Amino acid sequence: MLEFYRRLVVIVALAAGVSLIAPPLWAQHQNQNKPEATNRPPAKPGKSQAKKPGAPAGKPGQQNASKDKDTTPTEPMTPSQIGIDTLGKQAYLIDVNTGTVLLAKDADVAMKPSSMAKMMTIYLLWEEMKAGRVTLDTQYRVSEAAWRMQGSKMFVALDSQVAVRDLIPGIIVHSGNDASVVVAEGISGSQTAFAERMTKKGRAIGMTKSIFTNPDGWPDEAQFTTAHDLAILAQRTIKDFPDFYKQYYAEREFKYQNYQTQFNRNPLIGKVAGADGLKTGHTDEAGYGLTGSIERGGRRIVLVINGLNSVKQRQQESERLVEWAFREFENYSLFKPGEIVAQADVWMGVNAKLPLTVTANALLTLPRGARTAMKVLVVDDGPVKAPIKKGQPIGKLVVSGGNAATSEFPLVAAEDVEKMGFFGRIMSGVKYYVLGQHS
C-alpha cells in the first residue's frame, strides 16, 4: 500500500510540472558514441536510441544496430594513403559537394606554391571588388619592380596605368608575374605588405600551413604551402566569388594591347568536360603543378597536384585523376530537409511520436556499387520530453560501410509537439508507473 501511495505522489507531481522523475527508463538504451549497444537494457534517462530511419523504398540498405553488433567502421586511412597512386609528389583531390577526400598523397607536406600562389592574389583582389573599394575600371600604376619581373609576363609598360579588367586575365590567363606585382602594390602599397595580407587571409580561411612572401609565387625559401591548403583556397574562391570565378577562370585566351594572344596554361580547360579553373604553376624546385576544378552533373571536384616532371606529364596525370574520380565515385542523396527520416518517442506530449528530419541535404560520395553495403542508423534522444519545438536538435543519422568513412548528419524535430494537459500527464504517469505502459 505504501508503494502505491508513493507512485501516486510521483504521478501527481509530474503532472503538476515538478521535475521529480525523467522520461521512462526503458526507452533510453543507446549511448550515441556506441551504436553497437542497442541491445543493452537501459541504464538511466537522457541517453539515446538507435532506430531504423523511415526511409522510402529504394534508399540505401538500412540496418538496426541490434541486428549487427559490430557496427564500428574501419579506421580511416591516413592522408598519405587515400586513393590511387600518382606520379605527383603531392596530391589532393576532394569532392566539394560532400567534402569527401578521394585522393591524398603527402597533402600536408610543405611544398612551393609557384604560380598557384596567384590564386590568393586574385582572391584578395576580388575581395576588394566585392567590398566596393575596387572596380573593373580602377587603374594601377606599373612600378619599375613590376616592370622588371621575369618569368611569365603580361608585358605591362613601365609607368603605365593598367585597368583591373585587364589585370585579372593578365594574372589568370597569362600568369603574369608583372601583373601580380601591379595588383599587390596597388592594393597594399608594397609586395611585402600584400604578402602579409595573403598569409593572414590564408589563416582566416583555414590555410594553416601556408606562408606567402610575394604575390606571384616567385621562388623564395621562406614561402611554402601544401596541396591541402591550395584545395581550401580553390574551394573558397569558388564559394565566395561564384560570378567572378565563372567569368574569368575558364577564359581560354587573352590579348593585351598589341601583344601576341596568350592562352590559358591550364591543361584541363577545353580538353576535359566540365573543367572551369583554376591555376598552373612551375618552378625548377617545385616541378610542374596544377590546381584544377571540374563540375559535371552538379558534382564538383577540386584537384591539386604538384612535383610533376613536365608540361606533358602534368596534363596526362591531372586528366587521368579527374576521370578516375568521376568514373569510380558517385554522389548519393539519402535525405533532404523536410523528408522524414525516422520517428522518435515522445514523453508527456500530445503526440506519442516525433518525426525527425535532416538540417541539410544528406549527401554522400561513395565508390560506385558500394551503396548496397551501407549501414544507416538513427541515433536519437527519445523519448523526448515535451514540449518540443520544430528544429530542436534530437539526434543524428549515422552512415557507415561501403568502404567509406563514417558520416554523421544532425537530426532535428520536424514539427512542434505540445505538452499534455494536467490530467493527460496524470494518465500517462498512471499507464507507465502502474500499468507499465509508455505514452
For the segment 405-438, what is each residue's pLDDT rounded down to a tens digit?
788 999 999 998 887 654 455 555 555 554 455 5
CA–centroid distance for 411 within its chain = 18
Cα separation, 117 vs 184, in Å, equals 12
Residue of 187, 232, 196, 236 whose CA lies nearest to 214? 196
Chain segment 127-155, per-residue pLDDT in tens:
999 999 999 999 999 999 999 999 999 99
Residue of 120, 184, 182 whose CA lies nearest to 155? 182
pLDDT range class, residue 345, cuts 50, 70, 90: confident
Q: Is the pTM of this model over 0.85?
A: no
pLDDT range class, residue 34, cuts 50, 70, 90: very low
C-alpha cell read off for 424: 493527460
Residue with cell 597512386: 85
pLDDT value at position 135?
A: 98
Chain segment 84-126, per-residue pLDDT in tens:
999 999 999 999 999 999 999 999 999 999 999 999 999 999 9
Residues 6+ apart with CB under 8 A from 420: 348, 349, 350, 386, 428
C-alpha cell read off for 315: 596534363
| Angle of the 227-240 helix axis to the 191-205 helix axis, nearest 10 | 90
Please indicate whether residue 236 or residue 57 has the higher confidence score (pLDDT). 236
pLDDT value at position 151?
A: 95
Chain segment 285-315, per-residue pLDDT in tens:
999 999 999 999 999 999 999 999 999 999 9
Task: Calculate what percentage of the chain has a pLDDT beyond 90.
Answer: 62
The mean pLDDT of the chain is: 82
Please indicate whether residue 348 or residue 68 has the higher confidence score (pLDDT). 348
The residue-averaged pLDDT of 383-411 equals 85
Q: Is the dihedral of CA 126, 129, 133, 135 positive or negative?
A: positive
What's the start-to-end Cα distance of the chain, in Å?
25
Cα separation, 226 vs 106, in Å, equals 9
CA atoms within 13 A on the CB side of 269: 21
